[in-house]
Amino acid sequence: MIPDWLCYNRSETFRGEQAQHKSMARRHNTDGRPTIAQIARIAGVSVPTVSKVLNGRADVSLPTREKVERIIQEYGFVRNRAARALRKGKTGLIDLLLPRLDDEYYLPILEGVAQVLREAGLRLVLTATDYKPEEEVRWITTVTDHSTDGILVVLPSEQAIEQLERSGLPFVLIHNQGGLQATAPSVRITSWEGGFVATTYLIRLGHRRIAYIGKTAPARDAIERIAGYRAALDAAGLPLLPELECDGDFTEASGYQATLRLLELPEPPTAIFAGNDRQAAGVYRALHERGLAIPEQMSVVGFDNLPYTEIMNPPLTTVHAPRLELGRTAASMLLRLINGEQLEMPRVVLPTHLVERQSCCPPRAG
Amino acid sequence: MIPDWLCYNRSETFRGEQAQHKSMARRHNTDGRPTIAQIARIAGVSVPTVSKVLNGRADVSLPTREKVERIIQEYGFVRNRAARALRKGKTGLIDLLLPRLDDEYYLPILEGVAQVLREAGLRLVLTATDYKPEEEVRWITTVTDHSTDGILVVLPSEQAIEQLERSGLPFVLIHNQGGLQATAPSVRITSWEGGFVATTYLIRLGHRRIAYIGKTAPARDAIERIAGYRAALDAAGLPLLPELECDGDFTEASGYQATLRLLELPEPPTAIFAGNDRQAAGVYRALHERGLAIPEQMSVVGFDNLPYTEIMNPPLTTVHAPRLELGRTAASMLLRLINGEQLEMPRVVLPTHLVERQSCCPPRAG
DNA sequence: TTTCATCTAGAAAACGATTTCGATTTCTTT
DNA sequence: AAAGAAATCGAAATCGTTTTCTAGATGAAA
């Protein structure tokens, strides 16, 4: 009688174990990791049975299940993801495209995405595009194969969005620059409101001459921030003074330069709303160099709430951009899309809020 | 006569295109993405020929190659990574395990790894372990399946290293805490030397009472830093004063606390070597609060050279930890390991160096 | 004891690519 | 023109898993 551990795939067994040399038989599986077939043979069951045990199917008797589980434990078996992905059409991988990795701004976004994916048992494939749209398109091409189940893109270019829509893969955009009519799922922050609130805060403190830095930054968020600034001045009945709207590309250096120019004005401002925290750091440096006290001689407000704003001297009052939530929300939305669910709110906007610290006070009388 | 586009895999063609319903025929490939078989059929060639074109094999005639390439272009075909990975036994994925993502210290490491992998055409799977060894072990288990070709681990735990060695997968450790006798491939920085150089620099400036903060941080790098500090004092014939070696767990708060205690000493130090930049930020805060001028009344040196040290007031003199190179080097080593090469230098140590800025000067006479 | 429903387990067919190897065809060479 | 070499192409096997579908075994009900 033939023992049942010989019954499965006998021809394969013979060729695999007897007719061929050992070295040939395991050409691929060189690291000696067992496959389902080997586990099955050892346990004296069929391959599907092992698969059923692995996937917690019901149609396996308790003794069989326990035997298989013991052997899986003993041999430290883990299943081959590629084979599983091929068969199931899912890879368990999510792509995240970031403009760059050496910018701490994106770090909480990354962290938020990672948190949600970890909870869902998915893994995160990270790609930096270096702000180059061609790079982005190139990556989306390689990403659009079956290698991931979904894509998150931070600051996507128009072409990237087009390509994503064509690909048919689930995706969610973070900080979408695109036009307001766009329908692609996306998560943004209320930059306009942040600019409005920051400026209004300075106005309430009594400031009348408030400068803004960052007019030349092209990102949509930057445009909204200055729009919020202007709207706040307007709402308070204050004039919009062109000489108080400074160029700035959201770098520390441009904040420094702009501040020096502001200080040379016949009538300098009493407060500066830096478009982001990096520019605020430049503002600080210029003010320190000129020996001006913050906030007594100049109030400063930033935007983003980067970690180091807390340890600036004095700690910077700034608009908090909820970047962790940005990442978490986008990832959650993507998960729902992958699940085939409809998003009741495909375009989410997360609120910003002012974090009051010690870089602002009322202007000096006179 | 039978047209040649019908000749390949006829039975499959019939079942796939005629006998079955459309919905059933493409149960998996729901997004309408073409497969090699479909491209082959359209081009009137066999599946292997398309594969050869895709892989740039030589045994394809120019007209055939061009025809296939045109059709691949036209239909926007991209090959299924899972299938390729299964067959080739390589996934094109590298795992990077980081303690956490919300710590900007690791950012340049991540960037360095990403750079090298991008150049190599590999993709980066990112995982944060949150400093929990169990998490780490859990992840290494799921990672040790065939889903990645290699693993990079930052600050690995002992158990993680053991598990990696058992797995047989190529791996490289970054900031390995382990014993000096360990043979696993790893990349570290010269923390001891950094501590030595920083302290010596202060001694050369004329300081005699130099404090160190960060005695309680358990990481190997922290231990080496204080050892370098002590060695420098020793080499200069200066006494090791226990009251000048402060507790500190490398957080901003502990730098602040330690500084306050140091200032209450009957004879406070004239210089502080903060174990890292975060603690240096706490030192600054305490000194600013007490109205002490940096560097005139207190010299400060940090360690790590985080981005914000440049914009501190005054800019912080600190020891540069080459974190980008840490990432690049580790990734390059891993690539070589994956290629089956032997590493002539499995344990690499990258040099640190002092970055002189404006937080140090000679102590006041008397 | 017979009949029918319920469990279990396995054979075989996918999933989509790559690789090997043999069969043609085409090109040289004598 | 015949023989050998080189170029080109495709049939079939394979990677390791999941899924479907069917065949026995077992149990319960009549």
pLDDT tens digits for range A17-45? 333 333 333 344 545 678 999 999 999 99
Q: Residue B168 and residue A33: Cβ atoms within 8 Å?
A: yes
User: Does the CB of A48 fall within 7 Å of any strand C atom?
Assistant: yes
Phi and psi at residue B338, in whole multiples of 5°? -65, -35
> For residue B296, what pLDDT is reported?
96
- Which tens digit of pLDDT belongs to each residue from A63-122? 999 999 999 989 888 889 899 999 998 898 999 999 889 899 999 999 999 999 988 989
Average pLDDT of chain B?
87
Query: Which has the higher per-residue pLDDT, B133 or B106?
Result: B106
CA trace torsion B280, B285, B286, B289 (10° rounding): 160
Q: How far apart are CA A345 and CA B341, in angstroms?
A: 52
Is B250 in contact with B257 (CB distance < 8 Å)? no
Facing B107 at nearest CB: one of A107, A127, A166? A107
Q: Which residues of B touch A150 (CB under 8 A)?
A: none
At residue B111, the 3 state secondary structure works out as helix
Q: Which among A136, A126, A138, A128 is positioned nearest to A96, based on CA atoms?
A: A126
Is A297 in contact with A313 (CB distance < 8 Å)? no
Q: Which among A304, A279, A271 is positioned nearest to A191, based on CA atoms?
A: A304
User: Does the CB of A46 fall within 7 Å of any strand C atom?
Assistant: yes
Q: Residue A354: in which H helix or E strand, if any?
A: strand A353-355
> For residue B218, what pLDDT is reported?
87
At residue B303, the 3 state secondary structure works out as strand
Is A207 in contact with A363 (CB distance < 8 Å)? yes
> For residue B33, what pLDDT is reported?
77
Cα atoms found within 13 Å of the Cα of residue B364, Cβ hemisphere only: 10
> For residue A180, what pLDDT is reported?
54
Q: Which among A213, A81, A65, A305 is positioned nearest to B143, based on CA atoms?
A: A81
What domains appear along chain B, each with residue ranges and CATH number?
4-79 (1.10.260.40), 90-189+323-351 (3.40.50.2300), 191-321 (3.40.50.2300)
User: Does the CB of B364 fall within 7 Å of any strand C atom?
Assistant: no
> For residue B4, what pLDDT is reported?
31
> For residue B321, what pLDDT is reported?
97
Q: Which among A289, A281, A246 is positioned nearest to A265, based on CA atoms?
A: A246
User: Does the CB of A82 fall within 7 Å of any strand C atom?
Assistant: no
> For residue B7, what pLDDT is reported?
29
> For residue B366, what pLDDT is reported?
53
CA trace torsion B304, B307, B308, B310 (10° rounding): 90
Q: Which nucleotide does the CA of B59 lie closest to, via C1'?
A: D8
> For residue B29, what pLDDT is reported?
52
A49 min Cα distance to partner chain B (Å):
20
Which residue of chain A comes nearest to B146, CA vs CA?
A80
Q: Is the torsion defined by CA of A135, A138, A142, A143 positive or negative?
A: positive
Residue pairs between chains A and B whose CB atoms are closer than 8 Å: 139
> For residue A262, what pLDDT is reported?
97
Is the predicted pLDDT of residue A296 greater than 70, yes or no?
yes
Mutate to test the interface with B, among A31, A90, A101 (most CBs of B within 10 A): A101
Q: Residue A311 and residue B128: Cβ atoms within 8 Å?
A: no
- Which tens digit of pLDDT belongs to each residue from B121-147? 899 999 888 777 777 777 777 666 667
Facing A124 at nearest CB: one of B30, B126, B311? B126
A284 min Cα distance to partner chain B (Å):
9
> For residue B31, what pLDDT is reported?
57
> For residue B17, what pLDDT is reported?
33
Q: Residue A124: in which H helix or E strand, if any?
A: strand A123-128
Confidence category of residue B195, pLDDT binned at 50, 70, 90: very high
The arithmetic mean of pLDDT across residues B244-265, rounded, is 96
- Which tens digit of pLDDT belongs to each residue from B145-188? 667 899 999 999 888 888 888 777 899 999 988 765 578 999 99
B97 min Cα distance to partner chain A (Å):
11
> For residue A168, what pLDDT is reported?
79
The model's pTM is 0.86
- Which tens digit of pLDDT belongs to each residue from A151-197? 999 999 888 888 888 777 899 999 988 665 578 999 999 999 999 99
Q: How far apart are CA A170 and CA A187, in angstroms?
A: 14
Q: State how beta strands B93-98 and B123-128 pair.
A: parallel
